[in-house]
Structure 1
């Protein structure tokens, strides 16, 4: 196991080599730095423990590191504690606690904190339902370029949630979200293109979705396409996602 003295003795090239090596090597470096008090390393080690990258997945250890980083003032660590509380990672599901942690991250200007808190507010999970308040938070995150928030604002305009229904504004938000890399935004943008008869343009976006989308989303999107666009050929339809 690497020691703090060994880490401190590394020149910049050796350090770059260490952190760019195998995931296991990176975790070894992160652990030394985290135990020495590096907030950034504590956050990254927590993420590695949560995802099981370079080490066995251990949600409880992940949560411990997130708490250490949060004590050091790291907003993303606060957001990650919220995620753990919301989804029961290393702790029992507690959406009210999740909302408090998301708010702590949001109050520090973190786009993901704003988005996650707004998502709970929009559905009334752990907090009273407040779609108008959620929209304000989504807009703050969107102003920071947060792709998922931009897509959700498109949902608001498409469905007429606390705003007048406006398909033009919905389509504008979907294209912005798609271009920013959100797979849901890509799908919604593709839907709008299909409605306009732009099959080729829609397929270009549909073909990009499998690169980042979750299996659950891909399955739902594939089923929608097979029901509403039978015969359409794109990677989303061709891939069985088994």
Structure 2
């Protein structure tokens, strides 16, 4: 039996997301109906599930189209996702300059994720002229809005004194907030700083947490760093990182 919704039963974005966690295929049909009825959150969510192939056949070009529709209606995350698609070539030609334009528009409207993504392009000179000072400003604004990944990067600028006065104490505080916010790079940064301060056991707790949460590239790079550390405990942890990477990603 096919799943159907009457017009009066169309759900809002939060309800659709909750349904997606429980039953992706059923939710996909509800999302499609709501998107066609003009629900902005549903249009953006339809773009996401088409991009990922979650509960529906993957169709990245169609995902881009739905992100465009939602973005034209003022949906900031859809605008940010348009940037992601253009940055990585998902369903469209890769073009960092187009991506930067979408990120900038959403960032100017106050979206933390767009600030972070735009800052990444500014920091690396992809699609825009490299501008470390502006990148730092974007990371700072996103961090102040609670964006955990930006908190870690802001901490790095402060720790190294890059394009700002060096402030190790503030860096540790941002690393702590990032780590507690669930960012695995922030967890690694905090753990590394605590180890340097002589708080080995406290540092190892966060380094192990980062290992459990990290992606494959992070695990590989961090393992090399740990294996080259002077402390035997960190070298052993580096071996654990490599073991965990093999178990998780083959």
Quick check: TM above 0.5? Answer: yes
| Contact 1:190–1:205 under 8 Å retained in 2 | yes
| Contact 1:226–1:237 under 8 Å retained in 2 | no
2: CA distance between counterparts of 1:109 and 1:11?
Answer: 26
| Contact 2:24–2:54 under 8 Å retained in 1 | yes
Relative to structure 1, is the Cα distance of residues 72 and 158 closer, same or farther in structure 2, using a 3 angstrom cutoff? same
TM-score of the superposition, structure 2-length normalised?
A: 0.87
Point out the more displaced range, 122-131 or 229-238: 229-238
How many residues are matched? Answer: 239
1: CA distance between counterparts of 2:100 and 2:10?
Answer: 41
Give the equivalent residue in structure 2 for 1:119.
120
Q: Pairwise CA RMSD of aligned residues?
A: 2.4
2: CA distance between counterparts of 1:114 and 1:234?
Answer: 36
1: CA distance between counterparts of 2:11 and 2:133?
Answer: 52
Give the equivalent residue in structure 1 for 2:8.
8
Give the equivalent residue in structure 2 for 1:236.
241
Give the equivalent residue in structure 2 for 1:86.
87
Relative to structure 1, is the Cα distance of residues 173 and 54 closer, same or farther in structure 2, using a 3 angstrom cutoff? same
Point out the more displaced range, 124-133 or 191-200: 191-200
Give the equivalent residue in structure 2 for 1:181.
182
What is the correspondence of 1:131-150 to structure 2 with a 5 Å cutoff? 131-150=132-151
Relative to structure 1, is the Cα distance of residues 30 and 169 closer, same or farther in structure 2, using a 3 angstrom cutoff? same
Q: Does 1:36 align with 2:41?
A: no
2: CA distance between counterparts of 1:163 and 1:210?
Answer: 30
Aligned-residue offset at 1:161: 1.4
What is the correspondence of 1:21-60 to structure 2 with a 5 Å cutoff? 21-60=22-61
Relative to structure 1, is the Cα distance of residues 141 and 20 closer, same or farther in structure 2, using a 3 angstrom cutoff? closer
What is the correspondence of 1:95-174 to structure 2 with a 5 Å cutoff? 95-174=96-175
Aligned-residue offset at 1:4: 4.8
Point out the more displaced range, 49-58 or 173-182: 49-58
Structure 1, gaps ≥5 residues long: none
TM-score of the superposition, structure 1-length normalised?
A: 0.89
